[in-house]
Amino acid sequence: MKIMRPLSAVGIVASAALVLAACGSDPAATNSSSSNSASAPAATGTADVECGGKSPLSAEGSSAQKNAIDIFTQQYSKKCSGQQVNYNPSGSGAGVKQFNANQIDFGGSDSPIKDADAAAAKTRCGSDAWNIPMVVGPIAIAYKLSGVDKLTLTPSVAAKIFSGGITKWNDPAIKAVKGNESLNLPDKPIQVVSRADESGTTDNFQKYLGAAAKADWTKGAGKKFNGGVGNGAQGSNGVATAVKASDGGITYVEGAFAKDGLTPALIDSGSGGVELNAANVAKSLDAAKFLKDGTNDLALDLNGIYASNTAGAYPLLLTTYEIVCSKYSNPDVAKAVKAFLTVAATDGQQPLSAKGYVPIPQSLQTKVLAAVKAIS
């Protein structure tokens, strides 16, 4: 078994430098019928904002949402002249740590804070910390394999690849997946690339494997990759760059990064291969529930989505959260955080489609705006 080791710094590029285009925009995508667009309507409207407060706000965390935060910041500056947000896409683990250490005004994470982190956040805030979902995006199982431009994977096969149970591209289990029968799969090693840093993307991906392929993924979840195989790279752009540089590579990465030499695999959860695109992701969001229903802590329970086999629904997605204090000790920080998040949840949503994200459904937008309004 090949043990995971960090890659060298070559090819690891700051994600902020990457200009991203929309993912999976082909209307003829597999299982992407017109009925998929009838999912929950996207967030709409313009922000009614009380501008002012601290500027610039400081924030850090998820690299998956860096391009979305750039859009939010642009819209925020238009709405509130002179107001700025400085965001460092250092990864979810770093964002939570910096937030809990009171080094930043809000954090960004690809999974909700809980347990010890939530307790530390409460100590830092002097009040409960809330998870505010603001950016939704698919996670791609992205690969580079010469001559193979349409590969379908089941959760079981994906789990075996990322835990070392399947090591060659011509493994009979891959060939047996419906849609792969006619593929010319080479006798070539599968080169797994995972996140070397702590990442909510890793956490969500491993939770997906645990929910959708319980018998084949026994490695658990968490922000560190537990598969024990392959190589590691820093950040979303790091893993994408590493796979692009190596024919036969595969990784898990936010959908917006699965382009320019990478191909997202279709996922077959039991109802046929489903392509990664916005309509198919939105169909999965229809089933989303909250871990703490009836509160302003809006952490989503995604396990039901991950284990679903709804026809035409792309189940592998993540939600990035802005981690905020429900009560800030500094009213200037509270005022600016509320203004920024209000703009992000309204004016900032529609432009996200051009960067490969999925605007939050209107039903979720209503809950988000109510939670933001309740911050003091």
Q: Which residues carry a binding-site annotation for phosphate? A: 62-64, 92, 110, 199-201
For 58-70, b/e burial (b = at least 16 CB within 10 A) is bbbbbbbbbbbbb
N residues, the chain: 376
Residues forming a β-bridge with 57: 85
Calculate the alpha carbon distances from 16 to 67, 190, 236, 248, 250 in Å: 7, 29, 11, 27, 23
User: How wide is the angle at C-alpha 12 spanned by C-alphas 149 and 277, nearest 5°?
Assistant: 35
> Of 360, 200, 246, whose CA–CA distance to 7 is shortest?
246
Q: Where are the beta strands (DSSP E) in 168-303?
A: 191-195, 231-233, 249-254, 263-264, 266-268, 273-274, 289-290, 300-301
The β-bridge relationship of strands 266-268 and 273-274 is antiparallel
Burial class of residue 101 in the structure, from the number of CB atoms within 10 Å of its CB (0-12 exposed, 13-18 middle, 19+ buried): exposed
Q: Which residues contact 25 (CB under 8 A, 6 or more apart)?
A: 277, 278
Residue ranges of alpha helices (H) inside the chain are: 66-79, 92-100, 115-125, 155-162, 172-175, 200-212, 235-244, 278-285, 303-306, 331-345, 362-374
Residues at the binding site are: 62-64, 92, 110, 199-201
Residue reference for tokens 């070392």 = 164
Secondary structure of residue 171 in the 3-state scheme: coil
